[in-house]
Every structure is written in structure tokens, then in C-alpha cells.
Structure 1
Amino acid sequence: MPKRVCIVGAGPSGLAAAKSLLHDAPPGTFDVTLFDSKTRIGGLWPSHKDDSTGLVHPCMVANQSIHTVQFSDLAWPEDALQLPRAWKVGQYLAAYLERYCSGAKLRLGTRVDRAEPLGASTTTSSGSPSGWRVRTCSTQEGEREEVFDHLIVASGFFGKPTLPPVSSHAHHGIPVIHSSQYRSLPDLFGKAGRSGGKILVVGGQMSGVEIAGTIAAHLSSATHSPEPSPIPNPDKYTVHHIVQQPIWVFPLYTSPNPTASAPPFLPLDLGSYNLSNRVQPLTNSQGHISTEAAKVVHSIYQTTLGTDQSIFSPKLAITTTHTGNPPYLAVSDNYLEFVRSGLITVSQGKLEALSTEGATISPSNEHIGDIAAVVFATGFEASASISYLPASVKEAISLSPSDLNNTVALAFHGTYHSDAPNLGFVGFYRSAYWGVIEMQARFLTALWAAGGPSSPSLPSSLKEALNSDTSIERTLSLRADPRASQFPMGDYAWLMQDFAAALGLERSPPLGSMPRLPPADKEMDILTPARYPSASLTESQRAEVVKSLKQTEATAWGGLSSAKFVAKAVFRSLLGEWKLERDLVSKLPSHPSGRFSGTAKFLIRDGTRDGREAQFDALVAEGGELGQEYLYIEEGDFTASNGLTFRATRRYVWRYDERKDKLSVWFVKTDDQKRADYLFHEVDFVLPKEDGEDGENGENGKGWEAKAGHLCIDDFYDVKYKFNFKAVNLWDWQLAYSVKGPKKDYTIDGIYSR
């Protein structure tokens, strides 16, 4: 008789567990049932744009690429964006379910209320003397009890949003929500809105930085969009972010060669998981962080960003005061520039009090008044996800609800406990990687298929891994460790290596040659789940593995041997205000020469359909989005060569098309200067012929050059750009025009600097 397995949760962890039990063990070994309280699969990940049933906004952009947010034997569609939106991740999971989990019974809309270990006098249908009596409840079937041989907890680490006690002290007129509940400004304020004020974001780690940047982007869009604002007076609001310590903020695309004068760009995880930069065999870089290790990582982060972040705000600077402490990291494309522009204000400290009078921060005793709303980005309590387990089991796994990082202490990297050998965990740790989720599922499958941790049938590699495992002791020690890392479960690459050794799996080599990177001049060796395929693959699975590897390798070559993703990096780094100095030299007396001095602002907003209606409608029909764009406004004084000075302004709309990886500039309508009219030009980046090192401020290198052209009636505009990066950030850039026509012959040369 097959052993019955109850899997609680039909998100990535539950699906990976079901797939492994059905495909990585001999046929007929396991009979799998998946339960989920939601009426859909996916867990955190919604499956369509309008799905608001999860903890993730459907249009949120994932902070890892498709090369990391994947399972080993299902490649993403060829037209998938590098950084998928949340609902696209949900669709990937739906495809995974259809392909690999059709043999499982799927019970959606069914909540697991209770799971009790069977008594010694009870046996399961397979004859096992140990198992689980599981009580479920659904609107379709009501209450129901069933017996299973094994139980897998795949119900997710984000069990219940946590709100500090101070959150209840705000007066009734101020909206107070958790960051996972935020969807839009109208949802926060209601249609009536307020007259403005500060939106207080509390919490300085991943979710705090992300939600502060998201809300600021929504405010900017509401202010500068040509459409009516969804709330009154959006320009009267700002974001005030409270952080306890400065944190490194990475953009979604970084450079694997940040010191180059024209740095190439890749999704940040491709550079982060380049095994060529690691000493082999891998050792765990997470857990307890020594002072020396902390300094090394801080130095790497500063090199990657090209700054200690003081250029954005002194409150965000990572100085020698901080570099001995464990580093913390967040991901956001626009947070830092919003801080520099003043749309986000940062305060360091802890929220001590919240009342009708405002907020007080300790230890500085800083007071923040005029609060319009409060968003708590204060994490999740994982213990709510295992409320169905009995007290005896919770005690055995050392449940500590107050420890949001090390909530339970489990053996072999969070998979099981010897006191409950028929209970397994998959993905039950903070910020679980999909590759590790898949490995945890394979581990449990191998363990149970062999008869359990004490079985004499255990493969030698698995037995050795169990005998040398210290995961429980490590977890318990980290609970009281002030130098514990941000994500203490373990280093991703090391975990993958350790699981592979236990399972007897080899990391497959790249399919072909890979780009070489300085200073070691080694080929990139990018870790993805597809590098660890199952031991026995069907022909169709093997094809998916190969397809996935080809996608990753093509992405790496595209970023390192062409100008791919440079347009994205430029677009991101334009946000905010620039100082602009421009010279106009005319060869015709009818057009005076002169100098413009002023500012140029790139104001971010949601993409609009103006000027590209057909493309917009087709994309929306396919369920896609146009992303974001800038309203460009320059203002200043033009002083002609004859001494005459007058005020000058001009506007454009700048757009980035992620599908084409193309930057473009559009004229605005004369009667509505927030609306794009027609295309001015598309920017074509030129791959540099040779590379050199930048000067101290990034001003001496060749930089990224680009060109464009535009015929305006009889006048031809020959456009040239030069973008000087310092690592991931634009330091300054130039825009030059040569304009020739029957009545025009002049050049314009402008320099933009912060």
C-alpha cells in the first residue's frame, strides 16, 4: 500500500513537495493530498492581476530573477521578463502544478484545523504504527477527519503579520495597516483622502524599504500623471521612514564588473550567485557574523554600489561605525533617489510612542507630527502557520513565536525532527529560496522512501549527512546571538551544496563557455536550481533543464557582451533632480548662441498610453503592463550671446520598454504638457571598443555612449549621449544635438550632474 502524505499548503513549497514525492520516489510509493485554505494554489503568489487574496500585491516585481525564482525542471516561457511580476509567478506555479502534480489530490478551500500523532494502538492504511489524524474544514465538506502516514508543513513562514503594541495607540482618524495590506493610495486613505501629511513607514529591513519606495512612487505618479489623481492633493504627502540602522539598498540590476568605466549589467542575483567568486568547497557565510567577516561583506557591498550611500542621505550612510556589525540588505530601484529628492525622509531609531500628537522616536526623542497614515513593515509571525500542530510537537521543535527568524529548531536545514520522524517541513524559513525548497522536498522524499532516519536502508550519503548535522544546535544558539545574520537559515549556495551531497547529486556544468570576469579572469559559474537536476530525468524534464540553462547563459552573455540591460540601468538612475548646464552654438545669425543654466527633473509615474495607443491596448489585452515612465521638466535661464536673458523651460516624456530593452524620448503635447505626443527618438547604446578604470568620481572613463536621430520636417537632429556610471549609479551624463536644416545649423551640448 502507498504511504499517504498530507501536505498543508499549495504554494511553491507544497507543490515542490508533491512533485518530489510523486516523481523522485519509485511509482506508487506515496499517495499525496494537498490542502490549502485558499481557493487557489500559489500561497503568497497570486495567479492574476486582480487577485487581492494574498499577502503580495499582484503587480509587485520580484526581487530575484526568473533564474532563481524557478524549479529545476520547468523553464520560464521565452517571453518572460527577467524580473517577473507576482501574478506571473503565480502563473508559473499553475504550469508546474499541471505538469508535475496531476497525480496529487488537490483540496482547495480546505483548512487544516488539527493534526494529532496517532496513538500506539492505531495504524494507518499502509499498516504503519505511526501517523497523523488530520481534521479539516471546508464549506463544501464541512469537518472531516482522515489518517495519513506523513505530514508535511508547507504552509509558509509568513503566517500572520506582526504589529507592535504601539500600533494600537494611533487615534481613530489615522489609518494604520501592515505593509502586506497596502495596495494603493485610495485603499489607504479612502476616496475622500486627506489634505496631506506624512505617511509613516515603520521598519527598516526588506519590506520597509520596499513599501516606502512603492508608496513614494504612487505619490509621484498621482502628482505627475495626466490622468486625475486617485486621491486629493497627492503633492501634499511625503513618506517618513523610521529605520533602526542604515541598510544597504541594491537596485534590481547590478554590475558584475562595477569598477569598469562602462559597467555591464545583469539581474542582481546572477552576479550574487556567481560561484567563481567563492572559495570551493563552499562554506556557510550566514549565521554568526564575525567582525572581520562583516567588514569584508560591507566592503563588497560598497564596491557593488560605488558609494557608502552618504550621497543620498547621511542617515543612510554605512560608515566605519557600522562596518563591524552584520550587514543588512534590501532591494529597491527607486528608494535611494526618493530619499535624495526629499519625497522620503529617514529617521534612525525606534518608534517609542504613537498618538494623536504624532510619533516619538527613541533614543533621540525626535517628534514627527502631521501623520496622515502609518504602515508597519514589521514582519510576520511564523507560528500562526503551524497552529494546527499539538503542544507536544511544538515543544519538541522548540517553538519560539517571538523569534521571527528562528521560530523553530529543526534538523538538516529545517526539514525534520527526530522526535517526530514522520513530520516534515518544506520552505518553512524566512525568505526561502526555491532551489532550497526543491532540495528540502527531495530530502524528505529520500528519507521517507528509505524508511525514515533510523532505517538501515538509508543511502550512505544520507546517513553521513544526518550523523554530522548540527542544524538544531546552530538554530538554538542563533536565538541569543547579537551577531546573527539578517537571514540566519544559511547561505543559499552552501545549502544547495550540502543538500546535493546528502542526496548524492552532482552540480551539472554549464552547457557552454561563459563570460570571463576580472580580476580573477574566471568564467562565470552561475548557480540556478537547474544546475542540480534530479538523478533520474525523463526526456521532457531534461529538455526543460537544458532550456532553463540556455536562458541563464544567454542572459549572462547578453549582459556581458552587448549593451543589454544598460538602458534599464540608465532609466532607473535618472530619477530625481539634476543640475543642467547647456551651451548652444549657432552658425547662423538668425539663431543666437548662448548658455542655459538650470535644473532637470525626472518625475516617475505609471506608464501612459499617449502616443502609443495601439501598443498599449494590445499589451493590456495580453495581460501585460507598460511599467513606469518619467515626465521630464527642465527649467532655468538662457543667456544669449548678445546679453539678453530670459526664462526657458521644456518638457519630454522618457520611457523604458522592458520587453524591447529600449529607452525612448517623446515630445509632449503643446496643449497638455503632461501628455506624450509622438516619438522624438529611441536611444541606441554603443558597445565600447575598449575599457578602462574610472577616476575617483567616475568622470575620467569612457562611459556608456549612445546615439539617436530624428527628422523633424526638414531639420535633422543628430543626438549623442554619454553616461558616466560609478558602479550602478549615474554620476553625470551628457546630451548633445547637432541640428541641420534649410534654416538651422547649430549644436547643443548639455551636462547633467547631481
Structure 2
Amino acid sequence: MVNRKKTICVIGAGPSGLTAAKNLLWDRRGRRSAAPGFRSASADFRVTIIESQLHIGGLWPSAPDDIHGHIHPLMLANQSRHTMQLSGLAWDDQAPVFPRAWQIGAYLERYYQRFLHGFLETGDLVLQLGRRVVKVEPIEDGKKGWHVSTQETLASHGVEVVDAGVFDYIVVASGFFGSPRVPGGLATQGGMNDLPILHSSAYRDLNTLFSNLVPSSGKIVVAGGQFSGVDIAATIADHLSNMQHIPSGKPSNLSVHHIVQKPFWVFPLHTSPAVDAASPLFLPLDMTSYNMLKRPHLLSDTQGHISVERARTTHSIFSELLGSDQSDIHPALALPEGSPARDAPPYVAVSDTYSEHVRSGTITLTTGKLELVSNKQISVTTASESSLIDDVAAVIMATGFNATSSLSFLPDSVKKTMSFDETDTRQPLVLAFHDTHHPSVPSLAFVGFYRSPYWGVMEMQARVATALITEHAASQSWAASTPQWPRLAPALAEDQSVQRTLALRADPERASQFPMGDYLYLMDSFGKALGIPRTPGTVRIGEMTMDVVTPMHYFDTDDGQGELMIDTKDNDHAIEFTKQTIFAGLKDNRFVARAIFRSLQGTWKLDRYLKSKLPSHPSGRFVGTATFSLREGTNDGLPSSEAADAEYLYTEEGLFTADNGLSFRASRRYVWRYNERLDKLSVWFARTDDASKADYLFHALKFSPTDHGWTAKAGHLCIEDFYDVHYQFSLNGVNLTKWTLGYAVSGPSKDYTILGTFQRS
């Protein structure tokens, strides 16, 4: 007699749900679950994925015009493609280092097509899109399965609940970011009918924010000071800058006011693995963070409970990486050595443009808590005082997401068993072995229900869920030790996750921003428990050695017995691509142009001296300001293959005083462009008839390291006059603090030299 296949309901088709289904249907070594010699028939699975969205990918949008979800399709990921991938499927080589949200959605669709779609034909997979799980009821405490009920996502209110059937096991992969969260107590009073108030996840652009009637003045208030607050404040400031500085742009007195409750560190997307170098090299932020060689051989968890000593040490590391305690940016962000703020667990955010928007005043910071919206005024309170922000044009609540809504289908009895606490925004459930399960509910597993963005951890959780369900199906034991996973049972027995979570609840002031934030420790811990060795990714260049961990480095290529179904070349290619990226950054200076370009944003004090050998061009000194205003890339003068990914309109204003005493006001404009694919930073002359448009190429910078910082050289022939251009860039940490631009001009009618010094204003 052949036993029936065990049925599993995976709730959610985002990255966690897809990798959960893939691991349930495929062997860890790349064989289908029904391959000969793998599992007994009793451990063979039929998987049903239920997803509330109408497409694969969960929260991730499916296309550039998919604007109706919680994530803007054009949002830039704050981790690179090397981290945001799942083993067995490489990104296309031409994909950007930091993909857009819709590109991530497209990657997940490819993942589904590669690993799951074929199971629809065999009946081993059922996919239900546009259906929301509304109730999951255990049968005899889950010992005989779970009764699942769903409802159509887009159906009208009150539609009859649909019985989805009974399943032996449930995998909760509904995500940590369930629904937008707006704190209670926010009051709206008279005069608010025309004032837009929305959650940050609903913001798309200025036109939709103001229903295509963008006001000429007013303050867009953003409340919330973590990842989403920083991201949305910077995004709106970017949009305002673009609106004013694109060709045919219009002036505006709109501004961004960001309400934060405490200081936090703001990291750019690229940082340096050696910030103390005179000419620091750059890599994507997660590559420098996930270098295994920076950690001791026996890893311990550095997150969760943060002691005062550890907090101070981490703050110092962050300050060194950035080259600043951020007091030069704004007092509300300042974290100086010895301040009480350094005793608290550090908080971080990621943005390329936020800090310079704050420094330049494009974003105004206010410390406190938003309490009241009334008559286009915002009340901001602290422990000792309150203040008002008037002339409010819109309010954006960047207050995060409510994780508990992702658990709304669970019965109260199950939540009680798992010590559910809806006030705990970090870990509302108390789960075992890195948030994968609870020992008292052996037919329920969790994948991706944690507050961190790491896809590798999701995949490891999916492997643990598969192991637990497989062993339970075969022996009715949740922690059985078998030859397939001989190390898992000891790891579960030694696990202290439940105790750690309960301890954190008792001491919330010492809790880290991300309790599951130690990526290297988690990947190492999971790998050892599952018996998956890590493929080394060591890259050595001179005195620099890196071993960056990605999901691809935990992929068992031993084909064991049976048919090998997954082409491991794709995984190997991704590992090699990561190595090549590191090599390019450390050997070929890739990302230096990008880092320099990013750090130019904002306003600089400019002091320039011109020395001429010809009386027709008087010598003299120019003193003023130079401003790099961010805008969307334009194509003026460019072939389509070299379209700019990012662009500044450069404007300088000041007073030129000739050596003969004559003085006059002077201004100049250029367009600075960066192309990621070519890793090219270039400067363009502005048109004489429209100074907001690029005319023709002035020069492209070619960077070289020196003992005094990065230099760049370029040349340009203008009719018969040659411009010999040279730059010198001085960085502190990852940020420019001073740079010079000089050039010698020689030709039949010109013979002069110019040297300008730029310092932060």
C-alpha cells in the first residue's frame, strides 16, 4: 500500500515562500523529492502556495508600472544583488549592482519558473494567487493537520470565506512586513480635508501625492527615523531637486521636514574595506559587511542584546567607516565620542543622498515625536518641550509595518503557546532555532518571519523547515536525528533562541535594531546544523584578503544518489561573479568614480585662482560657492548606450576679482554624469541657450591612487586650445572633505592655469 503524499500549505509567494516550496519539492543536492533512493513515499510532499497578491513575488512589484503595492517599483534596494539572490539562480550579468524593486520581482518570477512551475503539471504543486489566508485552525492541536480558509483579495467586503482544505503542515511565509503601521493617538482636526496624509509605502511621486496639483510652497513632513523614514525623506528630496533642476524645471519653495526621535548612522550604498587608506577602495556596503575574514573563527551572535561596551565599540567602528561622528551633518544626527547616545544600541539607515540633503538644508531635521495634525500644523514634542511646524503641505508616516497582521490567521491558542506580544515590534512571536518553529507546535514552521532583509537566512530557514517536516512525517518526532541531518538534533537541543527572545523583552532598551541582524553568524550556525559546508569565496589582492558570504556559498553540490536536476553551473557562475566584482573593486578601482560622484552632492565653498600669461585674459581670484544639484539622468549629447544613471546640474556663483582690482559677479554651469555600466564619471559643458542642458563633453575622469588621495586626469581639445585637467580628492572615511580642480589651457589664443579648491560649506 502506498501512503498518500503529505500536504503542506505555504502561506506567501514572496522570496521566503518560494524558497520554502522549492526546498520542500527539491532535495538539498538538487534532486526532485521523488527521486529514487531519496525519501520514502510517506515523506513525499504535495505543496500548495497561497498568495494574496495577483503575482509571484509577494511585496515585490512585478513590473516598472506596478505601482499598487507597498513597495515603489523604482525603489533602489539597499543590499546588492550578491545578497539578494537565492542559491541555484544567478542574476543576469548585466543587472545593476543594486537592483530596482521591480527587477527583484522579475528575479523571483524567474526563480519560480526555474524551480517550481514544472510541479504544476505533476500535481505536486498548487498555486493560488489573489487569495488571502484568513483562518488556520489546528485539528487536535495540529496533530491531525490544519484547516485553512481563504478569501479573494480583491473581492468586496463580506464575501463568503472559501474552504481551502486540510493540510498536514503549515509553513508561514507571509512576511514580517504585513501592513502599514500608524501609531495610535495621531489626531486629525479641522481644516485637514485638503492635506494629504499617507503611509510611506503609498508614496510614489509628487504628482500623485498632490493629485497632480503640486503646490509652489509648503513643508512635506516625514515622521519616522529608521530605514523607511530616511529612504522616503531622501526620495522626496530627490524628487524636489529633480523638479527644480531638470531642463524646463520650475522653482519651488517646497521642502522636506523629517521628524526623528534619536540619532542614527547613515551609510551610503558603497563603503570601503580599508577606510584608513589614503586612497580608499570601495565595494557594495554588504560586501564589506559580510566579509568572513573580519570575524573570529568561532562566531558568536553580536546582535540581540547589546551591552554598553559593545554599543560603544560598534559606534566607534561606524564613525571610523564614515569618517565622521555626523556632527558636521546635523546636531540631530551627531554621535560624538563619549556622548550618552553611544551607550545605547546603534541604529543605522542606508541612503546615498540623505546626509547631503540634510547638510545642505534640503531636509530639515527636528527631534521629537509627532503628536498632532491640526490646521496644517504639526506638533512635535520631546520630554521637555513642544514645537510647531506650520505651513504643512503633506504628511508622510514612515512608521514601518505591523508584523502582527501577517499572523492574523493564526488562532489565539497557537499565538498564546508562542508567547505572542503585539507590542513587540521586533519579535512578536517567541520561536526556536532562529525563528523557524516552536517545539510545542510541530506541524507549523516559519520562513522569513524576522526583521532583517537577508535572503540567505530565509533560504536557510526553509531548509530547516524542510528537515523538520521531513523527519516529523517519517517518525512523528520534531527533532529526530538521521543520517540526512545528523547535526540538526544537537543544534536544536543546544538552541537558546526562546530564552534570548524572552530576555530581550524584559530589557528592551538593550535590544538591537535587528535581533536577527548578524548575517554571518546566522549563516554559519544554519550551515553547521544542516551539514552544508560553505564554499570559500576568498579573493586576495596585495595585502587585502576578503571572503564574502552570499547565499550561493551555502549550496551543496554533492549529487549523492539519484538524478541531479539543478544545473550547478548557475550557482558557480554567481560565486565567480561575486569574486570578479570584489576583484574589480580592489584591483581595478571600480566603484571609486561612483563613490566620488555620490559624495559631491550639495554645496561647497570654492576658492579659485587664475594665472594668465596673456593680457587679454586677466589673472585673478574667484570666491564663491559650487552646488551639485541631483536630478534624473538626461540624454543630451549622449548615445543611448551611455545614458546617465545619475546626474548633477553643477552651478557656481561668486565674485571674481582681477589682479588689477576690477571685480564682477560670475557664474558657470556644467553637467556631471555617472554611468554605472561603464563606471564612468564625466563632465559636460552646458548649452549657451539653455544652461540646464548638457551640450558636449568636456572630459571624463580617469582615477589613480596616490599617497595623498585619489587623483584624476583628463584632457580636452576645444577647437585649437587644449585643456589639461587634473583633480585631487581627499576623503575621510567614505566621504569627500576637500578636493581641487586645476587645468592648464594652451593654444594659439590662450595660455593660463586655473586651480580651484573646494571645501564643504
Partners of 1:683 and 1:431 lie apart in 2 by: 38
Three-state SS of the structure 1 residue aligned to 2:341 is coil
- CA apart distance, 1:551: 1.1
Structure 2 partner of 1:607: 633
For 1:444 and 1:535, how far apart are their aligned partners in 2? 20
- CA 1:334 to 1:507, structure 2 compared with 1: closer, same or farther past 3 Å? same
CA distance in 1, matches of 2:410, 2:557: 33
Q: Which amino acid counterpart does residue 668 of structure 2 have in structure 1? A: R
1:3-14 aligned at under 5 Å gives the runs 3-14=6-17
Residue of structure 2 equivalent to 1:423: 444
Shift of 1:514: 2.5
Distance 1:188 1:643 in 2: 52
SS of aligned partner of 2:165: strand
Structure 1 residue 129 displacement after superposition: 5.7
Report whether the alignment pairs 1:649 with 2:670: no
1:154 aligns with 2:173: yes
Q: Normalising by the residue count of structure 1, what TM-score does the alignment of the two structures yield?
A: 0.92
Matched residue, 1:696: none
Say whether 1:49 aligns with 2:49: no
- 1:513–1:246 CA distance, 2 compared to 1 (3 A): closer
Partners of 2:423 and 2:457 lie apart in 1 by: 25
- The range that moved more, 358-367 or 481-490, is 358-367
Structure 2 CA distance for aligned equivalents of residues 68 and 292 of structure 1: 29
Contact 1:6 1:151 in 2 (8 A): yes
CA contact (8 A) 2:481 2:487 kept: no
Match of 2:37 in 1: none
Q: Give the Cα–Cα distance (whole angstroms) in 2 for the partners of residues 93 and 11 of structure 1.
A: 8
- Whole-angstrom CA distance in 2 between matches of 1:165 and 1:445: 39
User: 2:96: which partner in 1?
Assistant: 81
Q: 1 CA distance for matches of 2:558 and 2:230? A: 42
Partner secondary structure for residue 748 of structure 1 = strand
Give the TM-score of the pair, scaled to structure 2. Answer: 0.91
Deviation of the 1:565 alpha carbon: 0.5
Query: Do the aligned partners of 2:627 and 2:650 also contact (CA within 8 Å) in 1?
Result: yes
**1:484-633 mapped onto 2 (5 Å cutoff):** 484-510=511-537, 513-515=539-541, 523-534=545-556, 536=558, 538=564, 540-612=566-638, 614-615=640-641, 626-633=644-651
Post-superposition offset of 1:105: 2.3
Please say if residues 166 and 354 of structure 1, whose CA atoms lie closer than 8 Å, have aligned partners that are also in contact: no
Q: Secondary structure at the match of 1:514?
A: strand
Q: 1:275 aligns with which of 265, 287, 292?
A: 292
Bigger mean CA offset, 312-321 vs 438-447: 312-321
CA distance in 2, matches of 1:752, 1:423: 60
CA drift of 1:614 comes to 3.9
User: In structure 2, what is the equivalent of residue 305 of structure 1?
Assistant: 322
Between 1:489-498 and 1:654-663, the stretch displaced more is: 489-498
Structure-1 separation of matches of 2:378 and 2:68: 32
- SS of match in other structure, 1:444: helix
Please point out which of 262, 283, 301 is paired with 1:245: 262
Is structure 2 residue 529 aligned with structure 1 residue 471?
A: no
| Mapping of residues 152-551 of structure 1, within 5 Å | 152-169=171-188, 171-228=192-249, 235-319=252-336, 320-356=339-375, 357-363=377-383, 364-451=385-472, 453-454=477-478, 456-458=480-482, 459-481=485-507, 482-510=509-537, 513-515=539-541, 523-534=545-556, 536=558, 538=564, 540-551=566-577
Q: 1:716 aligns with which of 716, 722, 733?
A: 722
Structure 2: distance between partners of 1:596 and 1:545: 56
Shift of 1:205: 1.0
Equivalent residue in structure 1 for 2:698, among 676, 680, 683: 680
Q: Secondary structure at the match of 2:683?
A: strand
Structure 2 residue aligned with 1:753:
759
Contact map agreement 1:313 1:339 (CA 8 A) in 2: yes
Q: What is the distance in 1 between the residues matched to 2:143 and 2:611?
A: 91
Q: Distance in 2 between matches of 1:629 and 1:281?
A: 45
Deviations 1:526-558 (A, max 9, x none): 111111113645475421221111111111111
Q: Deviations over 1:206-237 (max 9, x none)?
A: 111111111111111111111455xxx5x211
* Residue 147 of structure 2: aligned partner: 133
Equivalents in 1 of 2:367, 2:725: separation in Å?
Answer: 44
Which residue in 2 is equivalent to 1:125? none
Does the Cα contact within 8 Å between 2:187 and 2:372 map onto a contact in 1?
no
In the other structure, the counterpart of 1:670 is 688
Counterpart-to-counterpart distance in 2, 1:149 and 1:506: 31
C-alpha distance in structure 2 between counterparts of 1:412 and 1:99, whole Å:
29
Letter in 2 for 1:740: S
Is the 8 Å Cα contact of residues 656 and 663 (structure 2) preserved in structure 1? Answer: yes
Give the Cα separation in 2 of the matches to 1:197 and 1:686: 45
Q: 2: distance between equivalents of 1:446 and 1:267?
A: 34
Q: 1:33 aligns with which of 34, 48, 69?
A: 48
Deviations 1:18-76 (A, max 9, x none): 11111126623211111111110111211211111321111111111111111122111
Q: Deviations over 1:339-382 (max 9, x none)?
A: 11111111112223332243232223122222111111111111
> Alpha carbons of 1:584 and 1:461: their partners in 2 closer, same or farther (altered >3 Å)?
same
What does the per-residue CA deviation read over 1:245-293, in whole Å, with 9 as the maximum and x for residues that have no partner? 1000000000111111111000011111111111121100001100100
Q: What displacement does 1:502 show?
A: 1.2
Moved more, 167-176 or 300-309: 167-176
Contact 2:404 2:422 in 1 (8 A): yes
Other structure's SS at 1:54 match? coil
Is the Cα–Cα contact under 8 Å of residues 426 and 440 in structure 1 kept in the other structure? yes
Deviation at 1:595, TM superposition (A): 1.3
Q: CA deviation at 1:142?
A: 7.8
CA distance in structure 2 between the partners assigned to 1:707 and 1:432 by the alignment: 40
- The more displaced of 40-49 and 165-174 is 165-174
Structure 1 residues 453 and 224, CA, compared in 2 at 3 Å: closer, same or farther?
farther
Question: Which residue among 723, 731, 734 is the counterpart of 1:728?
Answer: 734
CA contact (8 A) 1:7 1:33 kept: yes
For 1:361, the aligned partner's letter is: T
- Percent identical pairs in the alignment equals 51
Answer whether contact 2:260 2:369 (CA < 8 A) is retained.
Answer: yes
Confirm or deny: 8 A CA contact 1:505 1:535 kept in the other structure.
Answer: no
Equivalent AA in structure 2 for residue 636 of structure 1: G
Could you tell me how far apart the structure 1 residues matched to 2:493 and 2:683 are?
A: 62
Root-mean-square deviation (CA, aligned residues, Å) is: 1.9
Q: Bigger shift: 351-360 or 327-336?
A: 351-360
Amino acid aligned to 1:498: S
Q: Which moved more, 1:167-176 or 1:377-386?
A: 167-176
Amino acid of the residue matched to residue 646 of structure 1?
A: F
Do 1:35 and 1:112's aligned partners in 2 also have CA atoms closer than 8 Å?
A: yes
Q: What amino acid sits opposite 2:688 in the alignment?
A: T
The equivalent of 1:63 in structure 2 is 78
Q: Secondary structure at the match of 2:342?
A: coil
| Residue aligning to 2:39 | none
Contact 1:43 1:54 in 2 (8 A): no
Counterpart CA distance in 1 for 2:566 and 2:16 is: 22
Deviation digits for residues 97-134 of structure 1, max 9, x if unmatched?
Answer: 111112232211122222111248xxxxxxx9621111
Query: Taking structure 1 as reference, are residues 490 and 467 closer, same or farther at Cα in structure 2, changes over 3 Å only?
Result: farther
Cα distance change of structure 1 residues 499 and 91 upon mapping to structure 2, 3 Å threshold:
same
1:130, 1:268 → 2: CA distance?
47
Alpha-carbon shift at residue 456 of structure 1 (Å): 4.3
Give the match's secondary structure for 1:307: coil
1:169 Cα deviation from its structure 2 partner: 2.1
Q: Distance in 2 between matches of 1:744 and 1:169?
A: 66
Tell me how far apart the structure 2 counterparts of residues 446 and 476 of structure 1 sit (CA, whole Å).
26
| Residues 352, 362 of structure 1: 8 Å contact kept | no
